Amino acid sequence: MNENDPNDLNAPVPFMQELLDNPFLLLFLGVMIPMVVYSLWGVIDILTIPVAK
Amino acid sequence: MSTTYRTCPRSGLQFELQAERLMLANAVAAVVFLLVGGILAVGVVLTRWPAVHWLSADAFYMVLTAHGIDMLIFWIIFFEMAVLYFCSSTLLRCRIATPRMAWLGFALMLIGAVTNNIAVFRGSSSVMMTSYVPMMAEPAFYLGLILFAVGALIGCFVFLGTLVVAKREKTYQGSIPLVTFGAVTATIIAVFTITSGAIILIPTFLMSVGIVKEVDPLVYRTIWWAFGHSSQQINVAAHISIWYAIAAICFGAKPMSERVSRGAFLLYILFLQLASAHHLLADPGMSTEWKVVNTSYFMYFAVLASMIHGLTIPGAIEVAQREKGYTKGLFEWLRKAPWGNPVFSGMFISLIGFGFLGGISGVMMGTEQLNMLIHNTIYVPGHFHATVVVGTTLSFMALTYFLIPVLFKREMINPGLAKLQPYMFGLSMYFFCLVMMGAGTLGVARRHWDMTMGGSPLAYEFPGAAYLMMGLVGIAGIAAILGGAIYIYITVGSLLWGKKLEPGVQTTQTIPLPKTPMPNVVIQSHGSSGFAAPGTFALAMVFLVSFVLYYFINWKYLSQVWGLS
């Protein structure tokens, strides 16, 4: 049994493959990352613009 | 749940009854909106052609609004729904999850799209696709978009549910096929996109009916672009999945490294949506850190993924062709490709145009300093016509030619004309995008009815080259519209008048996919030197040189904007 042999159907599934085989975990990551890095951070930037005096 | 499965005698694909009907309904709705959007495109190009300048300002803005929404949202997302059902139910050989919910989703999308169109054509919602507040449209404009978005979201969850059905009923083992994985990527981006649309369009709708007092314009722009630009990233994931599918259909090509291709799709899932930020590079409210992280560091991961797909797909085709004996020189595999088959030619013209025109210009635009050269000029539509029209629309057209006998069970009418169509549409769009980007580099505004802005204090005398290029935009645009009209004629004509074909054997039980290991043939059998596909390697070098040259030419332009010495 060899983890690196793609022809061995009984080989243990590598971690990355497990990640790629889980669409709901990918959905969580694919929504959370842009929501935080783009949307949330962007809105915080706008809301923290100092008010003109 | 009892259902029937049909095995297509021409392709061996197995279609479940409900999924097949949903695919047909979504594909037909998509083509209807393409037809409407295409007719509207005549008005847009004949008005922006300075010597013709056809429509009045009011009519132009109404037509441009409808053209943008019908093409960028309705045509594309209806077709993508058909692709999602194909990639789940058909490729995984399983029944579709909750078909009634899927039909509800389709009905909401259709009602939403029609409602939005009616609002626009009534003439008081000419707010462009972006509909920036405080410019207000009729409530029905926003309501239509919201209904459409909810319907599409239901479709996304039906797709995810179908994956669960396939896994539970063991219609496949191991990992889902790469093409289905690409569709998963498109779905995930779609969920983010549609959620963002709902977050900003619902309060804007409430503002239009007087319940909410104000929506902050900067916040609107930020969240709207998470919807507006990411909706085009759904397309990228979808059309790249189609490229992989067509490479397999036409050549029996297997990915050069399936792991690398899946890794590239993962980069899309994590980073592709962040490219939305390039629309806000001139906005005053966002910090430099936000702009740089979103448009440079993180976006480059997505660019890397696109380059991987752009190399591995022709590479896979080259390997398949070389195995068939086309080994002479660097490019015999490409010369001997089936250029008369519109499924292949459409896909390959799409791939090259998407990479060279859409990809390189996208990276240029995503660089904060360079973006200032072309921000809000007609360069931007030049870029996105290269990605969405050359990339996505042409891929969808190519796939349609495969689906006419397989899904629609009709013989294609006028195959001679179908052979020409991808060339006419694709190559005229190449030229259209190039001259648009040229005019944008000279500063021609993105949406303005009159490029001279005559009679206003902002009137500006453009060089003659700008007028020439806008005239060429008109000519190339008309040629592309004719190419699109041929596609609609062949598609609709085949459905109406094409000879009916044998539907194939019907059964009540699915035949599961055979258990196969992760295909990884090329790199394993040829080593990892990358020279299993030397022709593709040479093309990649041409691409990189073009990329570098174009990038530095724009830095040179930038250095000339302000005379410092």
Number of continuous H segments (helices) and E segments (strands) in chain A = 3, 0
pLDDT-based confidence at B452, cuts 50/70/90? confident
Q: Is the pLDDT of residue B522 over 70?
A: no
Residues in chain A within 8 Å Cβ distance of B286: 42, 45-46
Supply the pLDDT for residue A6. 54
Q: Find the CB nearest A43 among B222, B259, B293.
A: B222
Give yes or no for residue B524 having a pLDDT over 60.
Answer: no
The answer as to whether B433 is a domain residue is yes
Residue showing tokens 């380059």 = B307
The predicted pLDDT at position B511 comes to: 72
In a domain, B487, yes or no: yes
Domain assignment present for B11: no
Q: What is the pLDDT of residues B429-445, one digit of tens each?
A: 999 999 999 999 999 99
| B254-281 residue pLDDT tens | 998 889 999 999 999 999 999 899 999 9
Q: Is B92 part of a structural domain of the chain?
A: no
Cα dihedral value B33, B35, B36, B40, nearest 10: 130
Q: What is the pTM of this model?
A: 0.93
Provide, as residue numbers in chain B, all residues whose Cβ is less than 8 Å from the Cβ of A7: 517
Which of B199, B216, B269 minimises the CB distance to A26?
B269
Q: What pLDDT score does B516 carry?
A: 57
Contacts of A9 in chain B (CB under 8 A): 174, 515, 517
pLDDT, position B527: 40
- Other Cβ atoms less than 10 A from the Cβ of B173: the count is 12
Q: Total domain count for chain B?
A: 1
Parent domain of B383: 340-348+362-511
Contacts of A6 in chain B (CB under 8 A): 517-520, 524
B200, B279, B290: best mutation site toward chain A, by most A Cβ within 10 Å?
B290
Residue B285 has pLDDT above 80, yes or no: yes
Give per-residue pLDDT as tens, B147-196.
999 999 999 999 999 999 999 999 998 899 999 999 999 999 999 999 99
Q: Which chain B residues in 111-150 lie under 8 Å from chain A, judged by CB atoms?
A: none
Contact call for residues B464 and B438 (beta carbons, < 8 A): no
Share the mean pLDDT of chain B: 92
What SS3 class is residue B507? strand
Q: What is the pLDDT of residues B294-334, one digit of tens each?
A: 988 788 899 999 999 999 999 999 999 999 999 999 999 99
Q: Is B189 on the interface with A (CB under 8 A)?
A: yes
Residue A37 has its nearest CB partner, among B187, B191, B298, at B298
Among chain B residues, the shortest Cα distance to A40 is held by B223
Average pLDDT (B502-507) is 86
Q: What per-residue confidence (pLDDT) applies to A9?
A: 60
Give me the sheet containing B14-16, strands edge to edge. Answer: B14-16, B5-7, B505-507
Residue B344 lies in a domain: yes
More confident residue, B508 or B157: B157
How far is Cα B352 from Cα B349, in angstroms, rounded to an integer?
Answer: 5
Q: Does position B426 have pLDDT exceeding 60, yes or no?
A: yes
Q: CA of B268, closest CA in chain A: separation in Å? A: 9
What confidence tier does B519 reach under pLDDT thresholds 50, 70, 90?
Answer: very low
A20 alpha-carbon distance from chain centroid: 10
Contacts of A45 in chain B (CB under 8 A): 285-287, 290
**Rounded Cα distance, B440 and B375, in Å:** 9
How close does chain B come to A12, measured CA to CA in Å?
A: 11
B residues 356..385 contacting A (CB < 8 A): none
- Runs of H (alpha helix) within B252-297: 258-271, 288-292
- Residue A52 above 60 pLDDT? yes
Indicate the helix (H) or strand (E) that contains B15: strand B14-16
The minimal CB distance from A6 to the residues B189, B273, B520 is found for B520
Whether the link from the prior residue into B134 is cis, omega within 30° of 0, is yes
Q: Is residue B492 part of a domain?
A: yes
- Pairing verdict, β B5-7 and B14-16: antiparallel
**B411-426 burial, b for 16+ CB within 10 Å, e for fewer?**
ebbbeebbeebbebbb
Note whether B163 contacts A23, CB cutoff 8 Å: yes
Q: How far is CA A40 from the centre of its chain?
A: 16
Rounded Cα–Cα distance for residues B132 and B130 (Å): 6
Q: Does residue B254 fall inside a structural domain?
A: no
Q: How high is the pLDDT of residue A53?
A: 79
B180 touches chain A (CB under 8 A): no
Q: Indicate whether B415 belongs to any domain.
A: yes
Residue of chain A whose Cα is closest to the Cα of B523: A6
Cβ contact B547:B363 at 8 Å:
yes
Looking at residues B200-225, what average pLDDT do you find?
A: 96
- Alpha-carbon gap, residue B103 to B106, rounded angstroms: 5
